[in-house]
Amino acid sequence: MSMEVHFARIRKQLLADRKKFGMLLTLLLVGLLLWGRLLIHNVPRTATAVPPLAAAAPMPDNVPAPAAEATQRRAVEASLVGVVPRDVFAINAAYFPKLSGEENPSRLTKSVLDPTDDLEQQMRVIKAEAGDLKLQSTILGAQPRAMINGTLIGPGQNIAGFTVTEIRPRSITITKNGVTLELEM
């Protein structure tokens, strides 16, 4: 009796929505038609490169001869190379010739006579150090303050080697070794 109740419950759920039940029946019918087509037509299920042994072996007298198309198949043999003759990931030096003679010294060495090189390098280092500072908040008033990396500081105070010179809404000005930078939120 429990099976009857179970089947009755399933039947009730299937017939509850007629559109869904119709769609389910349609899909079931299409699936059966496709499956029947595979059974009716002799569709090959595998692809072979070598003819089956039955075609190559002599047939007994009581077995019918294979169809003409089966005997006319040609076997194609492909041999794979055991060892690859070259390394496909190796760099061919012929495509990248070495420079002959003296290379361009201005490209390889820094100019001793140009003091701007040192200043530019110093500015890059200071900007990189300032990149570690994060302005979180500014408080304006009689005593302006700024929250940098969780530390509350005012004008004239130092943080990480930088001196705070001015505090404005949403930005501050800091100085280190004569280099002035502006931090913004």
| For the chain, domain boundaries | 2-40, 119-184
Mean pLDDT of the region 143-169: 88
Which of 11-15, 28-32, 71-75, 176-180 shows the lowest mean pLDDT across its residues?
71-75
pLDDT > 80? residue 153: yes
Q: For residue range 163-174, what is the model confidence (pLDDT) as tens digits?
A: 888 988 888 898
Tell me the pLDDT band of 116, cut-offs 50, 70 and 90: low
Q: For residue range 84-114, what is the model confidence (pLDDT) as tens digits?
A: 677 778 887 787 777 665 555 445 455 555 5
A 10 A CB-CB count for 162 gives 24
Q: For residue 160, give the nearest of 184, 185, 139, 181 by alpha carbon.
A: 181
In degrees and rounded to multiples of 5, residue 99 shows phi and psi of: -75, 135
- In CATH, what number does 119-184 get? 2.30.30.830
| pLDDT of the residue at 92 | 77
